[in-house]
Amino acid sequence: MTKKIRNLLISVLMIHLAIGGLASTAAAKNVLLKVPCSVPFSVPILGDDIIGNIADTINKSSDTLKVKLYEPGKLVPALEVLDAVSSGKTNAGYTAAFYYAGKNPASVLFSSFPFGPEPAEYIAWYYYGNGMKLYQEMYDHYGYNVKVLPAGIIGAETSGWFTKPIESVEDLKGIKMRIAGIGGKVMTKLGVSVTMLPAGEIFQALEKGLIDATEFSMPVCDEPLGFYKVAKYNYFPGWHQPSTVQELLINKDTWNELDESQKTLIETACMSATLKSLAMSGGMQGAVIKRNAEKHNVKNLYWPQEMLSTFEEAWKEVAEEEAAKDTMFKKTWEDLKQFRAEYKTWKELGFLPRTKTDSN
């Protein structure tokens, strides 16, 4: 090979690499994700600890992809995030699927549902089973132009804050209660008048007597909302939400325009925040429960088995009704039941027996 030909080949190679580099740079367009949130930043774990962590990770890791967060109501109303992202009013949002159960029945199965999986099992279904595939299919099925990613998971919530003790199913009849997701349909079957309110409106409704009871989240998330000031009876366990998945929604047109490195960064940031939220949700509750009892005179009560059995039977009825009405609910429900049946084998053999807690 002559020196002239060798130099020509080197020149061609350098031009090719340069063009490739320019193409790669051009593909990574500058993108600002404007993220309205359904939960106030001040709510521990669910607020800034999850979505703030995701935003911080992305903003520190990319020159071309940035995230700007908005408190509930600042860009869009707290419970309208899904519609806003799908329509392109905003290109991203942080919320939870069960907020939209009225229009999308199957959505609850991807966020939280009565007597559902605990966090480890839920994560296993999402990332090892068919959860991720069905999650996206669910929003596609209902006609939303969004890309969805799990973005945080917490453990069991409290079962609810009540202004008076509940000693029987009869005591539930006529009570007005704020409760999210499909657990509300269970309570409706038992005679409760159910309403849905965003976090920032719950305390005022309790204080004014517009509702007699509420659930929201875990003790550490409930504490800053001040429920203990009005409702002194806090019931456990959280049968209606054994774990709860938060989600990051991105307008699908925006998502499709991102390059692979930007998509990977978002996915990784969401998984990182999910791990952090799981750790925090397990580690922060005991001190709050103790403080509620000793400082705020809250009675921490565990439902007797009779009540739990009643809740479970009502849930089974609701699940079958929903599956009969909605094809996406049925498809997801069948997949979950199959996965959980296999997981149960491991759950029963692989772990020490649960400690039985006496009801109060």
Give the C-alpha separation, 48 to 45, whole Å. 7
**Lowest-confidence pick of 41-50, 170-179, 241-250:** 41-50
Q: What is the CATH number of domain 160-242+300-350?
A: 3.40.190.10
Question: Any idea where the domains of the chain sit in the sequence?
Answer: 29-152+244-283, 160-242+300-350
Q: Please, which pLDDT band fits residue 353 given cuts at 50, 70 and 90?
A: confident
Question: CA 106, CA 85: separation in Å to the nearest integer?
Answer: 19
Q: What is the pLDDT of residues 35-70, one digit of tens each?
A: 999 999 999 999 999 999 999 999 999 999 999 999
pLDDT in tens, 68-123: 999 999 999 999 999 999 999 999 999 999 999 999 999 999 999 999 999 999 99
Would you call the peptide bond into 40 cis, given omega within 30 degrees of 0 as the criterion? no
**Distance, CA of 269 to CA of 257 (rounded, Å):** 19
Instruction: Give SS3 for 315.
Output: helix
Question: Cα–Cα distance between 11 and 14 in angstroms, integer?
Answer: 5
Q: What integer is the mean pLDDT of 234-249?
A: 97
Handedness of CA 8, 9, 10, 16 (dihedral sign): positive
User: Who wins on pLDDT, 325 or 5?
Assistant: 325
Question: How confident is the model at residue 28, as a pLDDT?
Answer: 75
pLDDT at 180: 87
Look at residue 61 in the predicted model and tell me its pLDDT. Answer: 97
Q: What is the mean pLDDT of residues 188-205?
A: 95
Check for a shared fold between 29-152+244-283 and 160-242+300-350: yes
* pTM for the whole structure: 0.85
Choices 3.30.70.100, 3.40.50.300, 3.40.50.12780, 3.40.190.170: CATH for 29-152+244-283: 3.40.190.170
Residue 153 to residues 150, 174, 241, 294, 332, Cα–Cα distance (Å): 8, 33, 11, 29, 19
Q: Residue 139 pLDDT more than 70?
A: yes
Q: Confidence class of residue 147 from pLDDT cuts 50, 70 and 90?
A: very high
| Count of Cβ atoms closer than 10 Å to residue 52 Cβ | 16
Task: Provide the token pair at 181.
Answer: 């997701």
